[in-house]
């Protein structure tokens, strides 16, 4: 192949691979390479473990899986004999020394080299040390006369000196394949991480990030590059797949990209909404569900979940069910119908009085002489859960469950009832954020989403006091502090692992904080059985926060028995 001399056309493949779909990911890679070739690219940069999909977790412990990934890379390498663009692509690598999170550099019909990730993350959602071995310090790879440094994701974030080593050994440009999950404000964090390395190495850096949902994780793309002079070379769109060709020129001061695309990055509300939409869409589509079904109660949580589902899948793939009982207010029936009409979804009413009374009748002899209370309330919720699961089984629709992070935190939810479902779009949203996003969506219709313009969540749903409607005149604040107070306490305890004394020093009532802390701990067993949901905060329930179920620690005191 001719040497590049002083010009490079680099294509960044910001795509949505599927974990375990090795053949499909190879097809995606070939299609992206063909698109890059059409645009005259010299090299295509894919993302971390692209062939396997990221994160593959324990799949990489299966020798057959890793062998199939490596075979796919060899096939792709053969394609490069056509004189078209070379390829940098992520793939698990097994050698006699061990198993690595690696990158293959392909050109001239062969694998030119492999480079392995040195710094394996082992925090938050990451546990790569469990499955991979750390690679050796890498040197540059010679690609058509250009010395490429290829640190892999955490190699840029950590402090092991990988980028510095590459610079000292002659790298001219740093290409970084990433699988960096989204949370609020993450792009600014990435920019700062990359700028630090650019300043330390005096080299330009290209940060390629994947797009799409993988279980609870959401990858937002937003790939970018900084030149050695700290200027932003390009910024690709967030939450959007594509192959983007960038132009680089070499001068006496090294490689520089000028006039690259700088996409507008959504504000916080739109970014979170798009993340939740994409996370739900990918979970449904990648797992083969034709449609979704959810209980539409006339409350804010189910309404916003319905709106997210329509934005993600289109109205024809969303089925809403109202499941009224004697405590369901007439206004709730009206509000649920209005929401379904605004979203254009199929809407059915399935009264639950008969099955609930049947359960109560069957249990009557055993319950005789005991006061009615939480058990009878939970029977209503569990009846609704059984009905929704029956509809799911009959028609192949996945049940969307609708509990917010405030409820999941304190256990204000019924196992095998309203917690039934395959996926929860708002699992990582506190209740106050649910209200804020509902108002935002009513005023905005993000481009490319499938829902209607205008009001998606009727205003009356947003302004009325939240209620589970499991007993007469019930309100959430009968059992919980006001949500602005509750969420402030929870954010401190959950997101920051903060303490009770700190909250009291900030003016919160000690007994209230101690009560919430206790509820947070004792609800762990429920969260372990909850449906997955898209992560949008720094610390979600599941991958990020792993507390024991059996746990007697209480900073605020033992409190209630």
Task: Give me the active site residues, please.
Answer: 48, 117, 153
**Of the candidates 61, 19, 421, the residue with the CA atom closest to the CA atom of residue 214:** 19
Around 112, how many Cα atoms within 13 Å sit in the side-chain half-sphere?
19
d(Cα 293, Cα 395) in Å, to the nearest integer? 10
260 labeled binding residue: no
Q: CA angle, corner 133, sides to 129 and 134, nearest 5?
A: 90
Joined together, the tokens standing for residue 501 give 């004394």
With beta carbons less than 8 A apart as the criterion, state whether 532 and 399 touch: no
Instruction: Determine if residue 393 is labeled as part of a ligand binding site.
Output: no
- 3-state SS class at 89: strand
Q: Is 402 annotated as a binding residue?
A: yes
Residues 410 and 518 sit within 8 Å (Cβ to Cβ): no
Q: Please indicate if the annotation marks 183 as binding a ligand.
A: no
CA pair distance 381, 36, nearest whole angstrom:
53
296 belongs to an annotated ligand binding site = yes
Q: Is 475 annotated as a binding residue?
A: no
378 is in an annotated binding site: yes
Residue 123 labelled as part of a binding site: yes
Query: How far is the CA of 429 from the CAs of 227, 304, 435, 490, in angstroms?
Result: 36, 11, 10, 12
| DSSP one-letter code for 237 | P
Q: How far apart are CA 76 and CA 72, in angstroms?
A: 6
Instruction: Please tell me the distance from the alpha carbon of residue 406 to that of residue 483, in angstroms, as a whole number.
Output: 8
Spatial CA neighbour of 263 closest among 328, 211, 332, 311:
211
302 known ligand binder: yes
Ligand-binding annotation for 295, yes or no, is: yes
Asked whether residue 405 is marked as a ligand-binding residue, the answer is: no
Query: For residue 221, how far is the Cα from the chain centroid?
Result: 12
**301 marked ligand binding residue:** yes
Q: Which of 284, 389, 303 is nearest to 347 (CA)?
A: 303
How far out from the chain centre does Cα 375 lie? 35
Element (H, E) at 392: helix 374-395
Categorise residue 441: left if φ over 0, alpha if ψ from -120 to 50, beta otherwise: alpha
Both tokens of 343, joined, read 């979203």
526 labelled ligand-binding: yes
Cis peptide leading into residue 409 (ω within 30°): no
314 is in an annotated binding site: no
Is there a binding annotation on residue 148?
A: no
Binding-site residue set for ATP: 295-302, 402
Binding residues: 123, 180, 186, 295-302, 378, 402, 407, 526
Residues annotated in the binding site for deamido-NAD(+), as ranges? Answer: 378, 407, 526
As annotated, the binding site for L-glutamine includes: 123, 180, 186
């Amino acid at each position: 192949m001719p040497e590049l001399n002083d010009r490079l056309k680099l294509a960044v493949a910001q795509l949505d691979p599927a974990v375990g779909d090795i053949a499909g990911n190879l097809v995606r890679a070939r299609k992206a390479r063909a698109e890059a070739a059409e645009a005259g690219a010299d090299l295509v940069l894919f993302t971390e473990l692209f062939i396997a999909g990221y994160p593959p977790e324990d799949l990489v412990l299966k020798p057959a899986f890793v062998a199939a990934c490596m075979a796919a890379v060899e096939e792709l390498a053969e394609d490069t004999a056509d004189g078209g663009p070379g390829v940098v692509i992520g793939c698990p690598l097994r050698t006699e020394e061990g198993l690595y999170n690696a990158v293959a550099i392909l050109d001239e019909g062969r694998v030119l080299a492999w480079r392995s990730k040195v710094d394996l993350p082992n925090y938050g959602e990451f546990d790569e040390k469990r499955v991979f071995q750390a690679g050796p310090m890498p040197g540059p790879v010679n690609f058509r006369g250009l010395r490429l440094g290829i640190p892999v994701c955490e190699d840029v974030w950590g402090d092991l000196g990988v980028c510095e080593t590459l610079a000292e050994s002659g790298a001219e440009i740093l290409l970084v394949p990433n699988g960096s999950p989204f949370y609020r404000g993450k792009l600014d964090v990435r920019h700062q991480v990359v700028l630090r390395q650019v300043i330390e190495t005096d080299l330009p850096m290209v940060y390629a990030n994947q797009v799409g949902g993988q279980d609870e994780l959401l990858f937002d793309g937003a790939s970018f590059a900084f030149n050695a002079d700290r200027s932003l070379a390009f910024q690709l769109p967030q939450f959007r797949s594509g192959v983007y060709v960038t132009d680089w020129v070499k001068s006496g001061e090294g490689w520089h990209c000028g006039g690259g695309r700088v996409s507008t990055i959504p504000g916080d509300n739109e970014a979170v909404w798009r993340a939740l939409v994409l996370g739900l869409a990918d979970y449904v589509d990648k797992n083969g569900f034709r449609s979704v079904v959810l209980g539409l109660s006339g409350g804010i949580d189910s309404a916003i979940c319905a709106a997210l589902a329509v934005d993600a899948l289109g109205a024809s793939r969303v089925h809403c069910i109202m499941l009224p009982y004697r405590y369901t207010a007439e206004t709730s029936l009206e509000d649920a119908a209005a929401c379904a009409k605004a979203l254009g979804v199929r809407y059915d009413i399935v009264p639950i009085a008969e099955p609930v009374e049947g359960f109560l009748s069957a249990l009557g002899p055993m319950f005789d002489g005991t006061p009615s209370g939480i058990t009878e309330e939970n029977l209503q919720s569990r009846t609704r859960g059984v009905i929704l699961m029956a509809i799911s089984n009959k028609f192949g629709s996945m049940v969307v469950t609708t509990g917010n992070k405030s409820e999941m935190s304190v256990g204000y939810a019924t196992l095998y009832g309203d917690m039934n479902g395959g996926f929860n779009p708002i699992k990582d949203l506190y209740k106050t954020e649910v209200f804020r996003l509902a108002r935002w969506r009513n005023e905005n219709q993000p481009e490319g989403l499938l829902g209607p313009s205008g009001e998606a969540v009727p205003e009356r749903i947003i302004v009325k006091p939240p209620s589970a409607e499991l007993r007469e005149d019930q309100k959430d604040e009968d059992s919980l502090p006001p949500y602005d107070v509750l969420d402030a306490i929870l954010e401190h305890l959950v997101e920051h692992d903060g303490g009770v004394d700190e909250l009291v020093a900030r003016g919160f009532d000690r007994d209230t904080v101690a009560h919430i802390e206790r509820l947070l701990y004792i609800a762990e067993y429920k969260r372990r059985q909850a449906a997955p949901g898209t992560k949008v905060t720094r610390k979600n329930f599941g991958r990020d926060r792993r507390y024991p179920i059996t746990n007697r620690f209480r900073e605020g005191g033992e409190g209630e028995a």
